[in-house]
Amino acid sequence: MNNLNDLRAKFQEEYKQKLTRPRIVVGLGTCGIASGGGKVMEAIKEEVAARGLDIDIDFTSCIGMCYREPMVEIALPGAASVVYGDIFPDKVAQLLDSHVINKTPVYEWAAIQIPGEATPYEGIDIMEQSPYYEKQVRSVTSRLGRTNPENIGEYIATGGYEGLEKALGMERQAVIDEVKKSGLRGRGGGGFSTGMKWQFVYNAQGDKKYAVCNADEGDPGAFMDRSVLEGDPHAILEGMMIAGYAIGADEGCIYCRAEYPLAIRRLNLAIAQAEELGILGENILDSGFNFHIRIKAGAGAFVCGEETALLNSIEGKRGMPRVRPPFPANSGLWEKPTCLNNVETYANVPFILRKGADWYAAMGTEKSKGSKVFCLTGKINKTGLCEVPMGITLREVIFNVAGGIQGGGKFKAVQSGGPSGGCLPESKLDLKIDYESLTEAGSMMGSGGLVVMDQTTCMVDVAKFFLNFTQNESCGKCTPCREGTKRMLEILQKICDGKGEMEDLDTLDRLSRVIKNSALCGLGQTCPNPIISTLEYFRDEYVAHIVDKRCPAGVCAALLVYTIDAEKCTGCGACLRACPAGAITGEKKQPHSIDPAVCIKCGACISKCKFNAIYKA
């Protein structure tokens, strides 16, 4: 067997050279590009040329602090590297003058610094000790925002493909045992033991086997798979190759959402680079192992994230789930034994092989090992991507990593697991994050989206939002999901319109249980979770909607009454002019009033009032 030592030495030398040169790195993940990173890049190129600076310009992916994008890192030889946040094109000139020419960082724009061997600057948080990263571990996300994802050399220089080399030198069963020993469980949300799954495929009879990667991330509020695909595409390839070797597959397929064009482009590039170096393709590293990977772009259906639907979609059919068993491990793609794992699961595998199962199993709780990548969204100060050890509490993630509730609001609920998950109240914040405890509390780990809600969120409305989503995305194959989601949505709509009755809650409860037990696939079985959990923890909000005909959070339009506070109203007439329905009357400089019969509750008056004189309740 050939090894990569010569290549690795060469790339490590190149990488070391790169690190000794002055450089500017722009974060160009999807979040960076969406915040204007491309324009920042152009501005940097222009300004550097105008000043005739000798400095390398490079790009990287999302470091995780999406709330500070666009981000720019400046590293000068012998000094700590500084990562700046909120760098728009108009700040580039000052940044270059101060940091590159005068060697003085712009302290007030700096987010974090990475000193390496150098002396840290005073007054800038060191990455590992900064509030955002202090509780985090970075293994799956270790290359995100630190290396160039389109450069295979940097991947290899930072330990890439070592796991594959190691695996190819082992017996296939030994590789599976290593993954079993690590305790890695499915990161798509199901939490099935990855090693066990591989064992089933290994044991399955078949002349041909496949390794498939599920990159059809469709949950609202989840983007960790996208970040890993864009930031470290080779890790997915390496994980799939190790799986392929272990189970005896020679073909792999990545099913990726068409909505992730950048991820697809970087994966294609990664495949081409790996093939060119002989790491992917025929007779990999002279070991006799052949493996080819192709990419299949999805066509826009949430249900295709369900494994059997995904396989149907790859085969060019309608993406509808089928009854299990037989499980894909025995009869999957083209009815051959298929190992199907999520992006993050595969991304963990190279680390397990490289550093050993014991290293991995040392992190996490008794039954949930390793780390988990979460997407933090909603009413929090710091939205972004974080990787935390299993067993950390929800409170630590929300109040330490994510910096607490936006605008000093009050925490109400956290939703994990997307449309399949549930909403957990404050009393559950000290739960340790692992598969069992979240499921027990009525939510689930899910893919890793955490949506935080404050007092301005109506829980009935949230349940309605998710139901609306699952109802739209239901494939229609099985009756409980097709008809059930529709009826549950109708009842929720009725409650939000103020026409609900107390019996509706019993009906919702019964429907939820029946659908949970009778739907064909995971989408249907879990779609009642948002309702079940909000009914359990926030029942009073449902009752307020039904009995008092009011929405405590002030969200459900039909239940709101807009009123003008005569004390605060100056009679300026701004609201009167803004009202599209002509519901506001009043003399100039006299307090105005709103006729509730004419008011259409659009909120236009509130946005125009400078005196906070209008309130809804």
Partner 1 sequence: MSACACGEKVVLSHEEAFLKLLDKYRDYKGGLIPVLQGAQDIYGYLPKDVLQTIAKELNMPFSKVYGVVTFYAQFHLKPRGRNIIRICLGTACHVRGGAKILQAVEEHLGIKHGETTEDLRFTLETVACIGACGLSPCMMVNDNTHGRLDPKAVGAILDTYE
Residue numbers at the binding site for partner 1 (CB under 8 A): 258, 296-297, 299-301, 313-320, 334, 475, 578, 580-581, 600-604, 607-608
**Shortest distance (Å) from residue 457 CB to partner 1:** 17
DSSP3 helix / strand / coil % (the chain, rounded to 5): 45, 15, 40
Query: Within its chain, how far is the Cα of 292 from the centroid?
Result: 28
**Shortest distance (Å) from residue 604 CB to partner 1:** 4
**What DSSP state is assigned to residue 348?**
H
**Shortest distance (Å) from residue 542 CB to partner 1:** 24
Closer by beta carbon to partner 1, 319 or else 364: 319
Amino acid at 415: Q
Residue whose entry in the numeric block shows the structure tokens 């970087």: 266
* Contact partners, residue 69, CB within 8 Å, separation at least 6: 27, 31, 32, 34, 35, 37, 62, 85, 86
> What is the spatial distance between Cα 96 and Cα 461, in angstroms, rounded to a whole number?
48
Closer by beta carbon to partner 1, 107 or else 334: 334
The sign of the CA dihedral 511, 454, 187, 223 is positive
CB 472 within 8 A of CB 527: no
- Residue 355, classified by CB atoms within 10 Å of its CB into exposed (0-12), middle (13-18) or buried (19+), is middle
**Shortest distance (Å) from residue 385 CB to partner 1:** 26
**Shortest distance (Å) from residue 460 CB to partner 1:** 19
**Shortest distance (Å) from residue 508 CB to partner 1:** 24
**Shortest distance (Å) from residue 318 CB to partner 1:** 4
**Shortest distance (Å) from residue 288 CB to partner 1:** 25
Closer by beta carbon to partner 1, 362 or else 600: 600
Closer by beta carbon to partner 1, 88 or else 334: 334
**What DSSP state is assigned to residue 380?**
B
C-alpha closest to that of 542 among 562, 533, 470: 533
**Shortest distance (Å) from residue 85 CB to partner 1:** 26
Tokens matching residue 616:
């809804």
Q: What are phi and psi of 387, to 5 degrees?
A: -125, 120
Closer by beta carbon to partner 1, 212 or else 488: 212
CB 458 within 8 A of CB 556: yes
Closer by beta carbon to partner 1, 590 or else 607: 607
Going by DSSP bridges, is the β-strand pair 422-425/338-342 parallel, antiparallel, or unpaired? unpaired
**Shortest distance (Å) from residue 300 CB to partner 1:** 4
**What DSSP state is assigned to residue 204?**
S
> What is the spatial distance between Cα 608 and Cα 589, in angstroms, rounded to a whole number?
16
**Shortest distance (Å) from residue 315 CB to partner 1:** 5
Closer by beta carbon to partner 1, 55 or else 602: 602
| 255 membership: H or E segment, kind and range | strand 251-256
Beta strands, E only, 130-188: none
Closer by beta carbon to partner 1, 316 or else 408: 316
Closer by beta carbon to partner 1, 13 or else 315: 315
Question: What residues form DSSP beta bridges with 450?
Answer: 376, 416
> What is the spatial distance between Cα 10 and Cα 14, in angstroms, rounded to a whole number?
6
The sign of the CA dihedral 398, 402, 403, 409 is negative
The sign of the CA dihedral 521, 527, 528, 534 is positive
CB 270 within 8 A of CB 152: yes
Query: Is the bond into 325 cis (omega within 30 degrees of 0)?
Result: yes
C-alpha closest to that of 380 among 449, 301, 320, 451: 451
Closer by beta carbon to partner 1, 131 or else 498: 498
Closer by beta carbon to partner 1, 252 or else 350: 252
Q: What are phi and psi of 86, to 5 degrees?
A: 55, 45
**Shortest distance (Å) from residue 601 CB to partner 1:** 8
Closer by beta carbon to partner 1, 52 or else 316: 316
Length of the chain: 617
Beta strands, E only, 462-597: 562-564, 584-585, 593-594
| 178 membership: H or E segment, kind and range | helix 172-182
- SS3 of residue 564 by DSSP: strand
**Shortest distance (Å) from residue 561 CB to partner 1:** 16
The H helix count followed by the E strand count for the chain is 24, 18
Closer by beta carbon to partner 1, 230 or else 251: 251
**Shortest distance (Å) from residue 56 CB to partner 1:** 32
> What is the spatial distance between Cα 550 and Cα 617, in angstroms, rounded to a whole number?
7
CB 401 within 8 A of CB 239: no
> What is the spatial distance between Cα 127 and Cα 343, in angstroms, rounded to a whole number?
26
**Shortest distance (Å) from residue 261 CB to partner 1:** 12
**Shortest distance (Å) from residue 296 CB to partner 1:** 8
Going by DSSP bridges, is the β-strand pair 562-564/422-425 parallel, antiparallel, or unpaired? unpaired
